Copies of this chain bind each other. A is one copy, B any other.
Amino acid sequence: MPHILLLSSDAEVYRSILESANLPDLIIEKEPTQACEIIFGAPSSIRKVLNDLPNVHWVQSMWAGVEPLLEPSLRKNYILTNARGVFGQLMSEYILGYLLAHERQIFQLRQMQKEKVWFDFDTGTLRGKTLGLLGVGSIGAEVARTAKFFGMNVRGYTKESEASSEVDKYYHGNDLLEFARGLDYLVSILPNTAETKKIVDGKVLGVLPPHALFINVGRGSAVDEPALLAALGQHKIAGAILDVFEQEPLPEGHPFWEAPHLTMTFHTSAPSLPEDIARVFIENYQLYVEGKPLKYVVDFERGY
Protein backbone atom coordinates (compact mmCIF):
# COMPACT_ATOMS: atom_id res chain seq x y z
CA MET A 1 0.00 0.00 0.00
CA PRO A 2 2.24 2.91 -1.17
CA HIS A 3 1.69 6.16 0.71
CA ILE A 4 2.04 9.16 -1.54
CA LEU A 5 2.53 12.72 -0.41
CA LEU A 6 0.79 15.26 -2.63
CA LEU A 7 2.45 18.71 -2.49
CA SER A 8 0.80 21.33 -4.62
CA SER A 9 -1.37 24.43 -4.33
CA ASP A 10 -3.71 22.44 -6.59
CA ALA A 11 -3.62 19.41 -4.26
CA GLU A 12 -7.39 19.00 -4.22
CA VAL A 13 -7.58 19.00 -8.01
CA TYR A 14 -4.83 16.39 -8.18
CA ARG A 15 -6.45 14.32 -5.45
CA SER A 16 -9.72 14.17 -7.34
CA ILE A 17 -7.97 13.22 -10.61
CA LEU A 18 -5.95 10.49 -8.89
CA GLU A 19 -8.97 9.15 -7.02
CA SER A 20 -11.03 8.90 -10.17
CA ALA A 21 -8.15 7.03 -11.86
CA ASN A 22 -8.64 4.11 -9.41
CA LEU A 23 -4.94 3.46 -8.97
CA PRO A 24 -4.23 0.19 -7.16
CA ASP A 25 -3.47 0.44 -3.43
CA LEU A 26 -2.67 4.16 -3.39
CA ILE A 27 -2.97 6.07 -0.11
CA ILE A 28 -2.84 9.83 -0.55
CA GLU A 29 -1.34 11.90 2.28
CA LYS A 30 -1.62 15.66 2.61
CA GLU A 31 1.04 16.01 5.29
CA PRO A 32 4.52 14.45 5.39
CA THR A 33 4.57 11.19 7.37
CA GLN A 34 7.27 8.58 7.78
CA ALA A 35 5.08 6.15 5.85
CA CYS A 36 5.50 8.21 2.68
CA GLU A 37 7.24 6.31 -0.08
CA ILE A 38 6.39 8.57 -3.02
CA ILE A 39 6.15 12.35 -3.43
CA PHE A 40 4.21 13.94 -6.27
CA GLY A 41 4.59 17.69 -6.16
CA ALA A 42 6.18 21.01 -7.01
CA PRO A 43 9.98 20.95 -6.57
CA SER A 44 9.90 24.19 -4.54
CA SER A 45 7.72 22.44 -1.91
CA ILE A 46 9.43 19.06 -2.10
CA ARG A 47 12.84 20.48 -1.23
CA LYS A 48 11.55 21.56 2.20
CA VAL A 49 10.55 18.05 3.31
CA LEU A 50 12.74 15.71 1.30
CA ASN A 51 15.58 15.27 3.80
CA ASP A 52 13.08 14.45 6.61
CA LEU A 53 11.45 11.59 4.72
CA PRO A 54 14.05 8.82 4.40
CA ASN A 55 11.49 6.29 3.14
CA VAL A 56 10.73 8.25 -0.02
CA HIS A 57 12.04 6.18 -2.96
CA TRP A 58 10.53 8.09 -5.84
CA VAL A 59 9.71 11.76 -6.47
CA GLN A 60 7.58 12.79 -9.44
CA SER A 61 8.08 16.48 -10.13
CA MET A 62 5.07 18.44 -11.40
CA TRP A 63 7.43 20.71 -13.32
CA ALA A 64 9.83 20.15 -16.18
CA GLY A 65 12.54 22.12 -14.36
CA VAL A 66 13.83 20.52 -11.15
CA GLU A 67 16.48 23.10 -10.14
CA PRO A 68 15.27 23.32 -6.46
CA LEU A 69 15.99 19.58 -6.02
CA LEU A 70 19.55 19.89 -7.31
CA GLU A 71 20.75 21.87 -4.25
CA PRO A 72 23.90 20.28 -2.79
CA SER A 73 22.38 19.89 0.71
CA LEU A 74 19.55 17.69 -0.53
CA ARG A 75 19.79 13.92 -0.67
CA LYS A 76 19.94 12.35 -4.13
CA ASN A 77 19.51 8.68 -3.23
CA TYR A 78 16.06 8.31 -4.79
CA ILE A 79 14.53 8.25 -8.26
CA LEU A 80 13.57 11.71 -9.51
CA THR A 81 11.28 11.93 -12.53
CA ASN A 82 10.10 15.16 -14.12
CA ALA A 83 7.14 16.24 -16.25
CA ARG A 84 7.94 15.71 -19.90
CA GLY A 85 6.04 15.15 -23.13
CA VAL A 86 3.12 17.32 -22.04
CA PHE A 87 4.28 20.78 -23.06
CA GLY A 88 4.44 20.38 -26.84
CA GLN A 89 0.90 21.46 -27.61
CA LEU A 90 0.96 24.24 -25.02
CA MET A 91 4.19 25.64 -26.47
CA SER A 92 2.77 25.30 -29.99
CA GLU A 93 -0.36 27.17 -28.96
CA TYR A 94 1.73 29.95 -27.45
CA ILE A 95 3.98 30.28 -30.49
CA LEU A 96 1.07 30.10 -32.93
CA GLY A 97 -0.85 32.62 -30.87
CA TYR A 98 1.94 35.18 -31.09
CA LEU A 99 2.74 34.48 -34.75
CA LEU A 100 -0.93 35.05 -35.53
CA ALA A 101 -1.10 38.17 -33.33
CA HIS A 102 1.82 39.45 -35.42
CA GLU A 103 0.55 38.49 -38.88
CA ARG A 104 -3.09 39.35 -38.25
CA GLN A 105 -2.13 42.60 -36.49
CA ILE A 106 -4.24 41.84 -33.44
CA PHE A 107 -2.74 44.62 -31.33
CA GLN A 108 -3.00 47.22 -34.10
CA LEU A 109 -6.66 46.35 -34.71
CA ARG A 110 -7.40 46.73 -31.01
CA GLN A 111 -5.80 50.16 -31.11
CA MET A 112 -8.01 51.12 -34.08
CA GLN A 113 -11.06 50.07 -32.09
CA LYS A 114 -9.95 52.25 -29.17
CA GLU A 115 -9.56 55.18 -31.54
CA LYS A 116 -12.96 54.34 -33.08
CA VAL A 117 -11.52 54.25 -36.56
CA TRP A 118 -12.77 51.70 -39.08
CA PHE A 119 -9.57 50.54 -40.68
CA ASP A 120 -9.75 48.69 -43.93
CA PHE A 121 -6.49 46.97 -44.70
CA ASP A 122 -5.18 43.52 -45.44
CA THR A 123 -3.44 41.41 -42.86
CA GLY A 124 -0.86 38.68 -43.44
CA THR A 125 -0.83 34.91 -43.34
CA LEU A 126 1.40 32.16 -41.95
CA ARG A 127 1.26 30.20 -45.19
CA GLY A 128 4.56 30.14 -47.05
CA LYS A 129 6.52 31.74 -44.20
CA THR A 130 9.77 30.16 -42.94
CA LEU A 131 10.15 29.32 -39.27
CA GLY A 132 13.50 28.35 -37.75
CA LEU A 133 13.61 26.24 -34.60
CA LEU A 134 16.63 26.53 -32.32
CA GLY A 135 16.40 23.14 -30.63
CA VAL A 136 14.23 20.29 -31.88
CA GLY A 137 13.36 17.97 -29.00
CA SER A 138 9.86 16.73 -28.19
CA ILE A 139 8.55 20.30 -27.93
CA GLY A 140 10.27 21.44 -31.12
CA ALA A 141 8.90 18.45 -33.00
CA GLU A 142 5.36 19.41 -32.00
CA VAL A 143 5.96 23.05 -32.98
CA ALA A 144 7.30 21.84 -36.36
CA ARG A 145 4.20 19.68 -36.89
CA THR A 146 1.97 22.67 -36.15
CA ALA A 147 3.98 24.95 -38.46
CA LYS A 148 3.67 22.43 -41.31
CA PHE A 149 -0.09 22.20 -40.69
CA PHE A 150 -0.29 25.93 -41.43
CA GLY A 151 1.80 25.64 -44.59
CA MET A 152 5.06 27.03 -43.25
CA ASN A 153 8.58 25.96 -44.15
CA VAL A 154 10.53 24.71 -41.15
CA ARG A 155 14.27 24.78 -40.49
CA GLY A 156 15.81 23.15 -37.44
CA TYR A 157 19.12 23.83 -35.72
CA THR A 158 20.23 21.04 -33.37
CA LYS A 159 23.38 19.62 -31.83
CA GLU A 160 23.09 16.50 -33.92
CA SER A 161 19.59 15.04 -33.69
CA GLU A 162 17.36 15.04 -36.76
CA ALA A 163 14.57 13.19 -35.00
CA SER A 164 11.54 15.13 -36.27
CA SER A 165 10.59 14.40 -39.86
CA GLU A 166 8.44 17.55 -39.94
CA VAL A 167 11.57 19.71 -40.18
CA ASP A 168 12.33 20.49 -43.85
CA LYS A 169 16.02 21.13 -43.35
CA TYR A 170 18.42 20.58 -40.46
CA TYR A 171 21.48 22.64 -39.57
CA HIS A 172 24.21 21.90 -37.04
CA GLY A 173 27.42 23.33 -35.57
CA ASN A 174 28.87 26.12 -37.69
CA ASP A 175 25.76 26.38 -39.87
CA LEU A 176 24.03 28.66 -37.36
CA LEU A 177 24.13 31.80 -39.53
CA GLU A 178 23.10 29.88 -42.62
CA PHE A 179 20.20 28.49 -40.56
CA ALA A 180 19.08 31.96 -39.42
CA ARG A 181 19.57 33.87 -42.67
CA GLY A 182 16.27 35.11 -44.10
CA LEU A 183 13.99 33.47 -41.53
CA ASP A 184 10.57 35.06 -41.08
CA TYR A 185 10.36 33.67 -37.53
CA LEU A 186 13.18 32.54 -35.26
CA VAL A 187 12.01 30.47 -32.28
CA SER A 188 14.35 29.35 -29.48
CA ILE A 189 13.34 26.32 -27.41
CA LEU A 190 16.88 25.74 -26.11
CA PRO A 191 17.57 24.63 -22.53
CA ASN A 192 20.16 26.37 -20.36
CA THR A 193 23.49 24.62 -21.00
CA ALA A 194 27.05 25.79 -21.54
CA GLU A 195 26.67 25.35 -25.30
CA THR A 196 23.49 27.42 -25.65
CA LYS A 197 24.69 30.49 -23.72
CA LYS A 198 24.06 33.70 -25.70
CA ILE A 199 23.72 31.68 -28.90
CA VAL A 200 21.22 34.28 -30.16
CA ASP A 201 23.71 37.11 -30.52
CA GLY A 202 24.22 40.14 -32.74
CA LYS A 203 25.46 37.98 -35.63
CA VAL A 204 22.40 35.74 -35.62
CA LEU A 205 20.03 38.69 -35.24
CA GLY A 206 21.98 40.50 -37.99
CA VAL A 207 21.15 37.93 -40.67
CA LEU A 208 17.40 38.05 -39.98
CA PRO A 209 15.34 40.26 -42.32
CA PRO A 210 13.80 43.48 -40.92
CA HIS A 211 10.33 41.92 -40.87
CA ALA A 212 11.49 38.96 -38.74
CA LEU A 213 10.02 38.06 -35.36
CA PHE A 214 12.09 36.41 -32.62
CA ILE A 215 10.36 34.24 -30.00
CA ASN A 216 12.11 32.79 -26.94
CA VAL A 217 10.30 30.05 -25.01
CA GLY A 218 13.41 28.10 -23.99
CA ARG A 219 15.70 29.74 -21.45
CA GLY A 220 16.72 33.39 -21.18
CA SER A 221 20.41 32.45 -21.08
CA ALA A 222 20.30 31.62 -24.81
CA VAL A 223 19.95 35.33 -25.67
CA ASP A 224 22.56 38.07 -25.69
CA GLU A 225 20.20 40.63 -24.15
CA PRO A 226 22.11 43.83 -25.11
CA ALA A 227 22.41 42.56 -28.71
CA LEU A 228 18.66 41.93 -28.82
CA LEU A 229 17.94 45.41 -27.46
CA ALA A 230 20.21 46.90 -30.12
CA ALA A 231 18.55 44.90 -32.93
CA LEU A 232 15.10 46.05 -31.78
CA GLY A 233 16.17 49.66 -31.32
CA GLN A 234 17.78 49.80 -34.76
CA HIS A 235 14.80 48.07 -36.45
CA LYS A 236 17.00 45.20 -37.59
CA ILE A 237 14.11 42.90 -36.70
CA ALA A 238 10.40 43.66 -36.39
CA GLY A 239 9.85 42.38 -32.86
CA ALA A 240 10.62 39.95 -30.07
CA ILE A 241 8.29 37.88 -27.92
CA LEU A 242 10.10 36.82 -24.75
CA ASP A 243 8.68 34.33 -22.29
CA VAL A 244 11.97 33.73 -20.46
CA PHE A 245 14.80 35.90 -19.19
CA GLU A 246 18.27 35.59 -17.77
CA GLN A 247 16.80 36.66 -14.44
CA GLU A 248 13.18 35.89 -13.48
CA PRO A 249 11.15 37.73 -12.42
CA LEU A 250 12.67 40.39 -14.64
CA PRO A 251 14.29 42.97 -12.32
CA GLU A 252 12.76 46.41 -11.93
CA GLY A 253 14.53 48.88 -14.19
CA HIS A 254 15.62 46.22 -16.72
CA PRO A 255 15.60 47.87 -20.17
CA PHE A 256 13.33 45.10 -21.56
CA TRP A 257 10.35 46.59 -19.68
CA GLU A 258 10.32 49.58 -22.00
CA ALA A 259 12.07 48.26 -25.12
CA PRO A 260 10.29 49.00 -28.40
CA HIS A 261 8.59 46.08 -30.20
CA LEU A 262 9.28 43.75 -27.29
CA THR A 263 6.45 41.69 -25.82
CA MET A 264 7.05 39.82 -22.58
CA THR A 265 4.85 37.06 -21.21
CA PHE A 266 6.29 36.16 -17.78
CA HIS A 267 7.09 32.48 -18.28
CA THR A 268 3.51 31.51 -19.11
CA SER A 269 4.17 29.69 -22.39
CA ALA A 270 3.64 26.17 -21.04
CA PRO A 271 1.57 26.03 -17.86
CA SER A 272 1.61 22.74 -15.90
CA LEU A 273 -2.02 21.73 -16.22
CA PRO A 274 -3.12 19.21 -13.53
CA GLU A 275 -4.78 16.85 -16.02
CA ASP A 276 -1.53 16.67 -18.02
CA ILE A 277 0.80 16.33 -15.08
CA ALA A 278 -1.44 13.79 -13.34
CA ARG A 279 -1.31 11.68 -16.51
CA VAL A 280 2.50 11.57 -16.27
CA PHE A 281 2.27 10.50 -12.63
CA ILE A 282 -0.37 7.85 -13.29
CA GLU A 283 1.68 6.34 -16.09
CA ASN A 284 4.78 6.23 -13.92
CA TYR A 285 2.84 4.91 -10.91
CA GLN A 286 1.67 1.94 -12.90
CA LEU A 287 5.27 1.22 -13.92
CA TYR A 288 6.36 1.68 -10.28
CA VAL A 289 3.92 -0.85 -8.80
CA GLU A 290 4.84 -3.33 -11.53
CA GLY A 291 8.53 -2.88 -10.67
CA LYS A 292 9.36 -1.56 -14.15
CA PRO A 293 11.73 1.32 -15.03
CA LEU A 294 10.09 4.75 -14.74
CA LYS A 295 9.83 7.30 -17.53
CA TYR A 296 11.49 10.74 -17.57
CA VAL A 297 14.16 9.95 -14.97
CA VAL A 298 16.31 12.99 -14.20
CA ASP A 299 20.08 12.63 -14.34
CA PHE A 300 21.27 14.59 -11.27
CA GLU A 301 24.62 15.27 -12.94
CA ARG A 302 23.15 16.72 -16.15
CA GLY A 303 20.37 18.45 -14.26
CA TYR A 304 17.55 17.43 -16.63
- Name A residues whose Cβ lies closer than 8 Å to a Cβ of B: 89-90, 93-94, 96-98, 100-101, 103-107, 109-110, 112-113, 116, 118-123, 125-127, 146, 149-151, 248-250, 252, 257, 263-268, 271-273
Contacts and interface: CB of A to CB of B under 8 A. Distances in A.
Most B C-beta atoms less than 10 A away, residue of A89, A121, A252: A89
A120 B96 CA distance: 21
A265 B109 contact: yes
Given A93-B104, A100-B100, A271 B127 contact: no
B127 A89 contact: yes
A86 to B, nearest CB: 10
Contacts of A151: 89
A68 to B, nearest CB: 16
A123 B263 CA distance: 16
Contact of A118 (B113, B146, B250, B273): B250
A116 B255 CA distance: 11
A97 B99 CA distance: 8
B101 A101 contact: yes
A269 to B, nearest CB: 8
Given A118-B250, A252-B116, A257-B116, A268 B106 contact: no
A103 B93 contact: yes
Task: In the A-B complex, list the 8 residue pairs whose CB atoms are closest, starting with the nearest.
Answer: A97-B100, A118-B249, A122-B271, A97-B104, A109-B265, A123-B268, A116-B257, A113-B264
B89 A150 contact: yes
7 contacts: A89-B125, A97-B97, A105-B268, A106-B106, A118-B248, A120-B249, A123-B271
A220 to B, nearest CB: 13
Contacts of A265: 109
A114 to B, nearest CB: 9
Contact of A106 (B101, B126, B271, B273): B101
B150 A109 contact: no
A280 to B, nearest CB: 15
Given A93-B150, A116-B257, 16 more contacts: A93-B100, A93-B103, A96-B96, A97-B97, A97-B104, A97-B106, A101-B101, A109-B264, A110-B263, A116-B252, A118-B249, A120-B249, A120-B267, A120-B268, A125-B273, A149-B149
